[in-house]
Every structure is written in structure tokens, then in C-alpha cells.
Amino acid sequence: MKKNRIGYIVLGALILIILSNSLFILDETQQAIVTQFGKPVGEPRTTPGMNFKTPFIHKVQFFDKRYLEWDGDKNQVPTKDKKFIFVDTYARWQITNPLQFFIRLRDERSAQSRLDDILDGETRNAIASNELLDLVRSTNRDPEVTEEFMEEIEVLEDISVGRAAIEKIILEKANDRTSDLGVRILDFRFKRMNYVDEVRDRVYDRMISERNRIADQFRSEGQGEARVIQGNKERDLAQIQSEAAREAEEIRGRADAEATDVYAAAYNRNRQAVELYKFLRTMEAFEKSMDDKTSIVLSSDSEFFQYLKRLQ
């Protein structure tokens, strides 16, 4: 009984081993091909679920069914108008024929290397065949003016191709070259473009010079406005001072006239009192300046003589 039980156990284990080597499962993200001694056998397996193969003889090569990423190297490339720029690109691709992919490329690492050659090459060719203006713009449009000083900016030059069209050309040419590799490039884009250091420094210097020119223009216009305001201020101040002086003289004249009227009225009202006062003061002067032995000589127009003449 023990020998039979051991035999059953061994047989069951062998059956399990054979079944485990005969079955493989594909999930939704995978596709596979079956190989025998390194050569593909049968059609690619792309349907998710349980699949069968010959145990111990067949092996399974799995490949990703999802969209895959390709990230290009940053390259320094000259444009058609001889301007050197750094270009950074990316793309998305997919394994569309796993059998052809296995025959030509074997694995994703080899595919990435092959895509490097194809996409980088087509990118260089496209950039070298187009001017920088076509690489950075996709449409012809008028610049949006947000500040008054930007109104003098010249109209943008028209482009003949455009960035989006260049990306499409690169994508089409790259797909022509990958058609026998079992892959398809789904999308290609320029991630980033920039001048090389030397050109970028010159561009920055030109931008600084342009901003300085605009600042000088603002400063000049401000100084002109300041001089106009200063001139208007001095003119208004002179006018105000002139009018104030005229009004002051008019007020002073009216005041003098009123004062004269007041003095005249007071003088006419108190004339007799004034005459009496003068007489009394004259008499006091006679009393203090003359005695019995005093002799005086008076002219005919002297006030003393006038009063003495009245006494006769």
C-alpha cells in the first residue's frame, strides 16, 4: 500500500509539473509568442486568458501590449539658417506585431536602441531642413500687444511649415522605417528647444539692450513731461503772483483812499480844535521864550508874527 501511495504521489507531482509547463496565462497588458529552441512557433498569443504549449520544449516570450515611452537624448543640432539649438524630444510607441518584433529586435531594450537611431536621425534631418522660426511656431498670427511700448514691435514673419507639421513629418518618416520591426510610433513631440550657451547669451544681451532702449525712451518722455509740467508751474506761479500783486495794489489804493477820506473828515470836524491847540502851544512858546528884556525879530510869514498881527 505504501509503494502504491508513493507512486500515486509521484505520478500526481509529475502531472502537476507537466501541466505547469503546459499552461501560461496572459493578462490584459501582455502578448506573447511561443518559441522552440529559440525559434518562434505558431501565431502570436494576444488574447488574455489561459494558453497551452508543449511542456519542456516550448518557451514563452512575453511583450508589453501597452503604450511605451521613448525619451530622446538632448542633442545640439544646427537649423537651416545656421543657428545651433539644443533639442529634447519624446515619443510614444507600441508593439503591434510581437512575432515580427521578436524576429527583428528580440526585446524592448533593443527596440529602444533602434528607436534612438531612427528618431534622433529623423529629428536631425528635419531640423537641418527647416529654419528656427518654423521650429518654434505652429501658426501665423499677429503678436498680442499688452503694453503700449510693445506697439512698435514689428509684425512677426510668416512661417512656411510650422512646428506641428515638422513633428508630423518626423512621425511619418520614422514609421516608414519601423514598419518591418513590428512596432508603430504613435506620437512624436519636441519636449524642449533652447539656444546653445553662446547664442543664448547673445539673445539675452539683445533682450537687455532692447529693454534698456525702451527704458531710455520712457525716461526721455518722462523728462519731457517733467519740463512741460515745470514750465506750466512757473507760468502759473508768475501769473498768480502778478494777479496777487495787482490785487494787493488795488486793495492798498482803496485803503489809502478810505484813510484819506477818514483823515479829511476828521480834520474838517476838528479844525477849530486844532486851531485852538496851535494857538495855545504858540502862546506857551511865547511865554517860555520871551521876558521884559527880550527883543525878537520876526519875519512876516512867521507863525508867531501871524498870531501877533491878529492881536492888533
Distance, in Å, from the CA atom of 215 to the CA atom of 84, rounded to the nearest integer, reads: 31
In a domain, 187, yes or no: yes
Distance, in Å, from the CA atom of 253 to the CA atom of 298, rounded to the nearest integer, reads: 42
Distance, in Å, from the CA atom of 181 to the CA atom of 97, rounded to the nearest integer, reads: 8
In a domain, 82, yes or no: yes
Same domain, 177 and 87: yes
Distance, in Å, from the CA atom of 12 to the CA atom of 6, rounded to the nearest integer, reads: 10
Cβ contact 185:93 at 8 Å: yes
Looking only at the bridges linking them, the beta strands covering 75-78 and 58-64 are unpaired
Q: Cα angle vertex 6, ends 5, 7, to 5°?
A: 90
pTM of the model as a whole: 0.60
Cell 525702451 sits on residue: 214
Same domain, 22 and 126: no
Q: Cα angle vertex 33, ends 31, 36, to 5°?
A: 160
Same domain, 45 and 117: no
In a domain, 250, yes or no: no
Q: What single-letter amino acid sits at 245?
A: A
Q: Which has the closest alpha carbon to 175: 71, 67, 63, 93?
A: 93
Cell 508867531 sits on residue: 304
Residues whose CB is less than 8 angstroms from the CB of residue 134 and which lie 6 or more positions away in sequence, other chains included: 159, 160, 161, 162, 163, 166
Q: Which domain holds residue 290?
A: 270-311
- Give the residue from 36, 63, 90 where a domain finishes: 63
Q: Facing residues of 54 across strands?
A: none
- Give the residue from 14, 32, 63 where a domain finishes: 63
In a domain, 222, yes or no: no
In a domain, 227, yes or no: no
Query: DSSP character for 137?
Result: -
The sign of the dihedral angle between the CA atoms of 198, 204, 206, 209 is negative
Same domain, 75 and 103: yes
Same domain, 87 and 185: yes
Walk along the chain (312 residues) in steps of 10 and give the mean pLDDT of each run. 62 62 83 86 86 82 93 89 90 94 91 94 93 86 62 67 93 94 95 80 77 84 88 87 85 80 67 65 69 68 63 54
Same domain, 57 and 162: no
**CATH number, domain with residue 166:** 3.30.479.30
User: What domain count does the chain have?
Assistant: 3
How is residue 53 written as a grid cell? 504549449
Looking only at the bridges linking them, the beta strands covering 68-71 and 183-195 are unpaired
- Say what the pLDDT of residue 96 is: 93
- Give the residue from 63, 81, 106 where a domain finishes: 63
Same domain, 114 and 182: yes
Query: DSSP character for 301?
Result: T
Q: Which has the closest alpha carbon to 92: 116, 113, 67, 74?
A: 67
In a domain, 25, yes or no: yes
In a domain, 165, yes or no: yes
How is residue 13 written as a grid cell? 507531482
Distance, in Å, from the CA atom of 196 to the CA atom of 185, rounded to the nearest integer, reads: 29
